[in-house]
A and B are shown apart, each in its own frame.
Chain A
Amino acid sequence: MPPALEVQDITVRFGGLVAVDKASLTIQKGDLIGFIGPNGAGKTTLMRVITGIVTPTEGKVMLYGRDLSGLTINQRIRAGMALAQQIVQPLRKMTLVENVALAAGGAKTANPFVAMRSFDRRAERARAMELLARVGLEKVADSEPAKLPLGYLKRLEVARALALDPKLLLLDEPLAGLNQIEAAGLADLIRALNDDGLTILLIEHNLREVMRICPQIYVQEQGRSLSFGEAKEVMSRPDVVHAYLGGD
């Protein structure tokens, strides 16, 4: 079985600036990897390479052995990836259940000719309700996103990503902007999803929660892979401590 995700020697240059420098990372099926690094480490750029928003100068990304080079973001999503974005972006004119049901209707939206002949939304709405219940939003399923606080919208992002039935879930700072209780609740949910077998790559600044839920950590600094391995072991390494705290 090939790895869930292989990031192979990715380099990204923006003009003279090297944002990511030969970064490599391998995620096995069922892993929950915490992806950390100080500001400016190139985490978001690497995530964008994985999702296809940024084209790398060198290197390639493989999903379950399939080379994703040249695929657009929607093609990568169809290949089995799902992304919950750092800045929440609900479809504001739709209710929560409609947001999630649209994602659940992948079979109907893949082809415009199929979409124009498909009308029934009941199965997708039922699936959306299940997922909203999974993330604790079933009571506000018919609300509009504009009326809900950030913590709810972060969960909506996760529910919508889950509706794509992904083989790999990418979470870009899902805990950012949440208070301690909300962050702990969402982190518990991420852990529970992984316990159910979902492979997850979690970019996060909240070290406390990353250390609590992630068995393994990948650290990037100044665009380079710094360390990857068992969480406590990685965080005890002097170079990782130095990257985070500075000093000699």
Chain B
Amino acid sequence: MAYEITLTTSMAIMVLFALSLNFITGFCGQISLGHAAFMGVGAYTTAMMIKAGTPMLATLPVAGLLAGLLGFVVGLASLRVREDFLAITTMGVVFLFVGIVRQQDALGGAVGISGIPASSLGRVGFMVLCIVLAAGFAVFSTVIKRSWMGYVYESIADNEDVARVLGIDVARYKLFAFVIGTFGAGIAGGLYAQHFRYVGPGSFGFVESISVLAMVIVGGIGSVPGVVVAAAVLSVLPQWIQFVDNYKILVYSVLLFTMMRFAPDGFAGIVSRVWNRMERKL
């Protein structure tokens, strides 16, 4: 049972992490190749605060806020650059994050921070907390997608110049997406630190950023249910299948390439097309 609890907890954390990227990349159309850095900010914040004696629940808002603050700064940069340049910029952020953390003794340097005390909620209680937060973000994302904000994001993702000509303050909406998305990643990072009771710079690098992007793209950019399913499956796949674990980056890269080439709208798009075809036949 302990294995299932650990697995479910990891899954919920990855679902929250992927949904947070979906807010930026899926809704707002801003490609980020460095999302793991924001998770890292949250993870290190929670790790240090717990070790200093702060209750885990009190650390999560701080983890989210600090990640959101960094997200705001990166969001400001996103206003100056476009698409492919933004991808490079965010990639730079994750390398910068890892590079800085490795050099800081206060953050445990290359070794990281270990010995984080277990959650007072217990394993089941903590799992429930992770599920509730992931589900909460999924509901929040769905509500936003149906709102006028989602409508605006659809236009920005499609053509931001047109959105401007329609009187939309694109910069403000983009910043909003970056702050919300990175806040979510910070919370996921906080949960990660508590769950694994260890954080190290290697856990929040470029590979992790690509992995979470793969989850969003495989699920279907912008689709909340698609991303939830893809994140849940892809996060446990390495634990179920040894080959996937050994060749994680290779498997994710092949998945990314295959989806972008044959189904850019991900599994959500495939399901939607099959459903429409079946409806027409009936």
Contact = CB atoms under 8 A, between A and B. Distances in A.
Contacts of A10: none
B275 to A, nearest CB: 18
Contacts of A90: 162
Given A74-B167, A102-B151, A116-B147, A89 B161 contact: yes
Nearest to B170: A74
B169 interface: yes
Contact of B148 (A51, A116, A160, A164): A116
Interface residues of A, number: 32
Nearest to B151: A102
A118 B147 CA distance: 6
Contacts of A89: 159, 161-162, 165
B52 interface: no
B167 A164 contact: yes
B168 A74 contact: yes
B257 to A, nearest CB: 23
B155 interface: yes
B147 A91 contact: no
Nearest to A76: B167
Describe B's contact surface by its main secondary structure: helix
B167 A78 contact: yes
Interface string A85-103: 1000111111000000011
Interface centre among B147, B162, B165 (most CB of A within 10 A): B165
Contacts of B158: 91-94
Given A91-B154, A91-B155, A73 B148 contact: no
A102 to B, nearest CB: 6
Interface string B112-155: 00000000000000000000000000000000101111011011
Contacts of B168: 74, 109
Nearest to A166: B167
A94 B144 CA distance: 18
A15 B173 CA distance: 34
Nearest to B161: A89
B178 to A, nearest CB: 12
Contacts of B172: 112
Contacts of B166: 74, 77, 102-103, 109, 160, 164
Contact of B152 (A92, A115, A121): A115
Interface in B16-60: none
29 contacts: A51-B165, A73-B164, A73-B165, A74-B166, A77-B165, A77-B166, A78-B167, A90-B162, A91-B154, A91-B162, A92-B158, A93-B154, A93-B158, A94-B154, A102-B152, A102-B166, A105-B151, A108-B148, A109-B166, A109-B167, A110-B167, A115-B148, A115-B151, A116-B144, A116-B147, A116-B149, A118-B147, A119-B148, A121-B151
